[in-house]
Amino acid sequence: MYTGLIFKEGISDFRIINDKEIKISKIEDWDIDDRAEDFQPKKWTAIHIEGNEKNIEKVARKISAALLPQWYAKVSDKFAIFIIYHNKVFKSKKTRPRDVREAIAYGISIGIPEHQFDWLCD
């Protein structure tokens, strides 16, 4: 099984939420307040997802196509983590934290604040 997290505010194509390969396991509101940047709302809706791990790469690509620029999402299974940006997906084995650092560096380069990556490895 894979699990993941998408923020509603970072989605440009909401059909992703109804995709048959994505099951929503929980939705919660996050009060970001002073951690939000000027281009972001102060409250975010965290959508926790899960599904069959055999579909994880396909799901990551679908999420990538549905994201707005300057937002990211993640999905992971027991072996790998996918850090997903608008039209770009990084895959890292969980045993290779260097790959995650490269993905974070890319996110920072496109304007995502470094402090917003703190939940990435949860």
Q: Report the relative pairing of strands 88-93 and 72-76 from DSSP bridges.
A: unpaired
Burial class (CB in 10 A: 0-12, 13-18, 19+), 39: exposed
pLDDT in tens, 60-70: 999 999 999 99
Burial class (CB in 10 A: 0-12, 13-18, 19+), 50: middle
pLDDT in tens, 1-18: 999 999 999 999 999 999
Count CB neighbours of 107 within 10 A.
22
pTM of the model: 0.90
